Amino acid sequence: MKRLHWYVIKSFLGPFFMTFFIVVFVLLMQFLWKYVDDLVGKGLDFKVLAEMLFYAAFGLLPYAFPLAMLLASIMTFGSLGENYELVAMKSSGISLFRIMRPLIIFAVIISYTAFYFANNILPHTNLKFTTLLYSVKQQRPELILQSGVFTNEMDGYSIKVDRKDNKTNMLYDLLIYDHTSNKSNESVTRADSGYLRITDDKKYMVLNLYNGINYSEEKTNKRRSQENYPFRRDNFEEQTIRVKVRNFDFNRHDENIFKNAYRMLNLNQLQLMEDTLNRDYKSRLREYIKQINLNTHISKKLYDLTVPHDSLKQNLVAMPDSTFLFQNYFDSLDKWVKAEIAEGALSSARNNIQNLNMYQGRLYDKKKNINKYEMERHRKFTLSIAVFIFFFIGAPLGAIIRKGGLGMPVVVSILLFIAYYIVSMTGEKSAREDVWEMFNGMWFSSFVFLPVGIWLTYKAATDSAIMSTETYTKLFNKLGFKKFFDKIKKPK
């Protein structure tokens, strides 16, 4: 039996590590496609780009573990079924569960590893990646000249190029406006050609111009009834413009800026931040209740609901339940008194509506921020449990479809993962918007796919032919669909 278990493990490890690295690579390409605009044209060193991709790859591992487990389990058991090895094992009296037992232990280990990684390692890598990405976004891009478009990246100058030779980097038909002396368009330069480069230390831009003319207007200190300024035109064969540039050096920002973000905290830190934010939320809520103009009895009840102590029920019960017949009192008043009361009540209601609309938006933003921390705490568990769930979906599904390799298993795995992602995003969005309870929303995908895994395992263990067309043909016949379609096909 040990030899059989080692054979199953060896058959599983190869597809698992292969699919794991393939999934990480595909997700990393998606990351590059998402942030390509922030990386291109910044003149970043290869070391910085490699570091960013390294941290980004770590951030993608929680999603790579479940998908790799699903794909590898389908490939392994599909290959065993395709080569009739699974049939030989079952004919020897070995149940499917006993065949899966070593891989179940392996799936538990991978699930724990995913949880440990998400709780202890991923927060640090997320902090490094977020800080590095922010530093890259803040860096000034290298000057990229486009044909027919004015560029203002060169401090104090506005440059337009008619044509650019990509092979020699020569610029043709340049038009340059000089704004270095806080002038509008009083100094203009035209040149037939030019060459732009940045010094090795990235502190200066050097623009060499050839065969051009400088046009400039010069002001005089003499007062005249009509302002006329002398005009100057200088021809040149070669001219050099050297400008000192700023923010071209790559500067790393302080990591403390993002250290309290929800993706940079472990479970204990997330729980602490939730408690802190909830206290602040209730404190703000009490302050807003005080500013709403309500009667004393209602204001007291609303205020007590936000007070964090155990005597809440006693306070609510202790409030006297007085009854006041306002209608009888109001009918006994004069008309002008009734008008004043109605006008005051209407004004108070309008003010309350305005305050409520303003406070609702502020409280809603704070509650969504709290939900992010709570969602991240649940996500550390759900993505780890997903590894275990996907094993119980992939292993029996591979035994049923009996197809190995990268053909059918890849298609089935992608469809299942897309379905899981859609269900997961639906639950997370409902939890984030407080439509569902946080626990129900974050664990909704697990509640849906865990019964699917149990059902598939049962069907595979009992050798049910759920992938056979004859099974569904017999089912349609029992339901009477065949007779229904035969009646439709008969001519009248």
387-398 b/e (C-beta count within 10 Å ≥ 16 → b): bbbbbbbbbbbb
> Any residues with CB less than 8 A from the CB of 108 and at least 6 apart, and which?
388
What would the two tokens of residue 397 be? 């599904």
And the tokens for 173?
């038909």
Interatomic CA distance for residues 235 and 257, integer angstroms: 53
Average pLDDT over residues 102-109: 90
Name which of 63-67, 96-100, 208-212, 487-491 the model is least confident about: 487-491
Percent of the chain with pLDDT over 90: 10
pLDDT at 283: 82
Distance CA(358)–CA(360), nearest Å, equals 6
> Which pLDDT belongs to residue 40?
66
Question: What letter does residue 83 receive in the DSSP assignment?
Answer: T
pLDDT value, residue 389? 92
CB 143 within 8 A of CB 435: no
pLDDT at position 311 is 45
Residue with tokens 């591992």: 61
pTM more than 0.75: no
CB 448 within 8 A of CB 426: no
**CA proximity to 266, closest of 62, 119, 481, 69:** 119
> If DSSP codes are grouped into helix, strand and coil, which group holds residue 164?
strand
Highest mean pLDDT among 120-124, 167-171, 432-436, 479-483: 120-124
Strands 187-198, 170-178: pairing kind: antiparallel
In whole angstroms, give the CA distance from residue 176 to residue 193: 12
Confidence of residue 109 (pLDDT cuts 50, 70, 90): very high
pLDDT tier for residue 259 given thresholds of 50, 70 and 90: confident
Position 112 scores a pLDDT of: 92
**Which alpha helices (DSSP H) does 153-290 contain, by range?**
267-290
For residues 350-377, b (16+ Cβ closer than 10 Å) or e, as one string? Answer: eeeeeeeeebeeeeeebbeebbbbbbbb
Record the tokens describing residue 442, joined without a space. Answer: 């974050």
Strand pairing of 204-217 and 231-244? Answer: antiparallel
Residues 407-427: what's their mean pLDDT? 84
If you count them, how many residues does the chain have? 492
Structure tokens at 267: 């479970």
| Residue 286: Cβ-neighbour burial (10 angstroms; 0-12, 13-18, 19+) | middle
Mean pLDDT of the region 223-234: 65
pLDDT band of residue 313 (cuts 50, 70, 90) is very low
Amino acid 315: pLDDT? 46
Nearest to 126 by CA among 249, 269, 291, 334: 269
Report the distance separating Cα 404 and Cα 401, nearest Å.
Answer: 9
Q: Which two three-digit tokens encode residue 303?
A: 């205020």
Structure tokens at 212: 């051009």
Closest listed residue to residue 359, CA positions, set 313, 304, 301, 302: 302
What average pLDDT score do residues 177-188 get? 75
Amino acid of residue 465: A
What's the rounded Cα separation, in Å, for the pair 138 and 438?
35
How does pLDDT run across 443-481, given as a tens digit for each residue? 999 999 999 888 888 888 887 666 555 554 665 566 665
Residue 385 confidence class, pLDDT cut points 50, 70, 90: very high
Where is average pLDDT lowest: 248-262, 289-303, 372-386? Answer: 289-303
pLDDT band at 308 (very low <50, low <70, confident <90, very high): low
pLDDT category, 263, cuts 50, 70, 90?
confident
Q: Look at phi and psi of residue 148 and say left if phi exceeds 0, alpha if psi is from -120 to 50, else beta.
A: left
Q: Is 247 left (phi over 0), alpha (psi -120 to 50) or beta?
A: left
Average pLDDT of the residues in 29-52: 76
Give whichever of 171-185, 253-267, 301-315 has the largest mean pLDDT: 253-267
Name the average pLDDT for the chain.
Answer: 79
The answer to whether residue 417 scores a pLDDT higher than 80 is yes
Residue that is written with structure tokens 């209407």 in the block: 346
Q: How far is CA 315 from CA 61, 299, 305, 318, 336, in A?
A: 51, 13, 10, 5, 39
Count of CB atoms situated within 10 Å of the CB of 317: 9
Specify the pLDDT at position 158.
83
DSSP 3-state of 211? strand
Q: In the chain, what percentage of residues exceed pLDDT 70? A: 77
Does residue 483 carry a pLDDT above 70? no
314-369 pLDDT, tens per residue?
444 444 455 556 677 667 777 777 787 777 778 777 877 877 777 777 888 888 88
- With bands split at pLDDT 50, 70 and 90, how would you rate the model's confidence at 108? very high
Residue 225 pLDDT exceeds 80: no
Q: Apex CA 206: angle with CA 192 and CA 43, to 5°? A: 115
Could you tell me which of 64, 121, 68 has the C-alpha nearest to residue 264?
121
DSSP secondary structure letters along 98-155: HHHHHHHHHHHHHHHHHHHIIIIIHHHHHHHHHHHHHHHHHSPPPP---BT-EE--ST
Q: Quick check: helix, strand or coil at residue 216? A: strand
Q: How many CB atoms lie within 10 A of CB 112?
A: 13
Higher pLDDT pick, 83 / 290: 83
- Encoding tokens for residue 73? 């389990």
